[in-house]
Structures are given as structure tokens and as C-alpha cells.
Amino acid sequence: MSDHEFTDDGEWLDLELKGRAAVEGETLTLFPEREEKNTRLDKFVASHIPDMSRSWLQRLIDDGNVLVDGQVRSRTFKVTPGQIIEVAVPPVEEDELLAEEIPLDIVYEDEHIIAINKPAGMVVHPAPGHRSGTLVNALLHYAPDISMAGSQRPGIVHRLDRDTSGLIVIGRTDVGRLALLEQWAERTVVKEYEAIVRGVPEEQEFAIDAPIGRDPTQRKRMAVIQSGKDAQSFVTVREAAQIASFVDVRIETGRTHQIRVHLAYADFPIVGDRVYNRFGGPAGGYSPLADRQMLHAARLVFRNVAGDIVDLRSPQPDDMQAAWRELSEASS
């Protein structure tokens, strides 16, 4: 458990890159032997690169850096003798994390855990192109005692997209972080979102159960694909206008861009989502009413280290209220 963290409420991310210097920036070519037939791709690669953590290798596969005969495959793909497995290990940038005095909206805090209402536009942790101004930079200033856990993402156990607003919880200590990780792994955390979508669903409540993985043709996007990871979203229509709806979404899994991908897959893309909403007009991806995707992490329920239930709610942001008001009035 300690080698991982979660992203977007559930997807594993690596925290410990054992032995990466030996192959960093290289491409390794592997050939399955007869006795390795039907071995899972992640297990096969791990057996050939034993000095690297299994989680890091799984991440390489999920990011499309492991090819089987030139094709991206899932970590559960079964290898066969005669195939050529290419493992491209990208260079990893290790920059010093800087503490920055950035205002934080703290909604819950104890000795082990901090919960924050993240504004839209704030990146959660440093990455290429975003080395400062992130939530992590702010946390290092606010809580200089936060456990680093050998990571460039201290305390982070799940993640919100830059332009998604709302609740995010941080493990301030190793004890707090591990307590949160366990709850995410067991899927006991309540995660509820609000979104404004294009179109009006016929049903008041419906579920979307469709696997999500890296888009094989556009690597920066996610998509519903057969080889993806299981993903379930539960949608309730709160209000409906002529061209748009205000919906509540509860997720039990947490895949990268899950809600955005699922709603687009169901033909109700999120207003202002320039990646997954390809429509024009006020309810489109480039809506004049929205400077970002209209998605908000509104509620988060978990247990603290003492075992007490923490039920957090975040008010609807002003920009979502304004966008919905305009869409509603335009439909009346």
C-alpha cells in the first residue's frame, strides 16, 4: 500500500521508483519464452526488470509506454512467445519542491488529515509546465511538517483535474495518508460531484458502467475502451433546461477523467469541457458561459484516523451558478 497513491479518486500512481536510473530514458526489448505463455503483461515485464517497482511498471503500461508488437495493451494482456515487447522508460524530472505562500480554503483539519476546497485553475501537484503555484507548493508552506513519504506529491492520495473545483483530502502524516489510502482501496469513501451537461437525459437517474483507458489514437485523452479499467458512475438529474441539465454524479471507482469521459460517452458532455465536449453553442465545449469544465467535487465522506465519520460539503462555485442561470434563462 505504501508504494502507491490514488488519482482522480482511485487510480493507482507510483510513489517509489526503485532502480529507475538503470533504465531511465532507455527502451528495452523483451521476448516471451515458451514457459511465459499467458503471463500477464505487467507480471512479465516485472520479472524481466526486477529492480523496478511493480507499480512503476504498471504505470508505464497504463501510459502507453509498453508496446506488444507495436500496439498498446492493458496490464492484464496475456503475452505469447514470438511477440516483441518494447518498454520505453521516460526520463523522470526531480525538481526541488518549493514552499509557496498561497491561500488555501481549509474545510477540515486534524493532526493527521487536511481537507481543502480547491479552486478551479489550481494544479494539484508539480508537473512539467507547472512547477509552482500548485496545491502541493501551498501545502508545504501551510504545513511544513507534512510527511514527504519519499514523494514529489506529499500527502496526495487522490487528485482533481486543474479545472475541476471542490474537495480534496490530504494525508498530513504517514498514519493519515495510509488511513485514507485504505479507504480508497476499499471503496468506502463517498464521492459526489455536481456538473452541468449538454442535453436532457430521458431518465431521472441512470448508471454508466463502461471501462476507461488511454485513448489509443490520442494519448492525452481517455476513452471508453474494452481493454480499459472498470468504471461506474451514477447520475441523477437535479434540474433540466431545454439544452442543458444540472446533474449530481456519484462515483465508486475513480479513473482519470472518469466523469468527463462517462458523461460524454452517454451523449451528455460537460459544458465547457474543451477536450470531451465537441459541440458548439452555450452548452458546448467552448461555451461563452464557461471558462472551464463545469464540474465540482461537492461532497466527500471518509473516516479520520480516530474512526469518526467526516462528512464534508463544498458550496457550488459562483461560475457554475452563473452558467446555469444563463442556460436556464435561455431555455425559458
Phi and psi at residue 137, to the nearest 5°: -60, -40
Q: Which of 84-93, 137-146, 212-221 has the highest mean pLDDT?
A: 137-146
The reported pLDDT for the residue numbered 161 is 92
- pLDDT winner (highest mean) among 45-49, 123-127, 139-143: 139-143
Q: What is the pLDDT of residue 10?
A: 37
Q: Are residues 218 and 319 in the same domain?
A: yes
- The pLDDT score that the predictor gives to residue 317 is 97
11 within some domain: no
Single out the residue in 165, 185, 205 at which a domain terminates: 185
* Phi and psi angles of residue 259, each rounded to the nearest 5 degrees, phi first: -65, -40
288 and 207 housed in the same domain: yes
Decide if pLDDT at 74 tops 50. yes
pLDDT of residue 93: 53
Higher pLDDT residue, 229 or 149?
229
Examine the pLDDT at 94 and tell me if it is beyond 60: no
* Contact of 198 with 171, CB cutoff 8 Å: no
Work out the pLDDT band at 132, boundaries 50, 70, 90. confident
Q: Is residue 253 part of a domain?
A: yes
If one compares 180 and 28, the residue with the highest pLDDT of the two is 180
Domain shared by 143 and 210, yes or no:
no
Query: Is 236:248 a contact under the CB 8 Å cutoff?
Result: yes
Same domain (yes/no): 179, 298: no
What average pLDDT does this structure show over 114-142?
A: 87
Most confidently modeled range among 12-21, 68-77, 202-211:
202-211
CATH of the domain at 58: 3.10.290.10
Q: Say which CATH number the domain at 266 has.
A: 3.30.2350.10
Percent of the chain with pLDDT over 90: 65
Give me the mean pLDDT over the 151-167 stretch.
Answer: 88
Could you tell me if 181 and 245 lie in one domain? no
Residue of 299, 207, 205, 199 whose CA lies nearest to 244:
199
Domain end: 88, 107, 123, which one? 88
pLDDT at 55: 66
pLDDT at residue 239 tops 60: yes
pLDDT above 60 (res 283): yes
Nearest to 322 by CA among 231, 236, 246: 246
Pair (105, 64) in one structural domain: no
Lowest-confidence range among 121-130, 176-185, 202-211? 121-130
Domain with 43, as residue range(s), is 18-88
At 36 the pLDDT is 84
* Percent composition of the chain: helix, strand, coil (DSSP 3-state, to 5): 20, 30, 50
Residue 13 belongs to a domain: no
As for how many domains the chain has, the answer is 3
Kindly state whether residues 163 and 144 are assigned to the same domain: yes
Q: Is 316 exposed, middle or buried (0-12, 13-18, 19+ CB in 10 A)?
A: middle
Mean pLDDT of the chain: 86
The catalytic residues are 161
Last residue of a domain, one of 88, 103, 137: 88
What are the strands, taking DSSP E only, across 76-231? 85-88, 106-109, 113-118, 165-171, 190-198, 205-209, 212-214, 222-224
For residues 145 and 179, state if they share a domain. Answer: yes
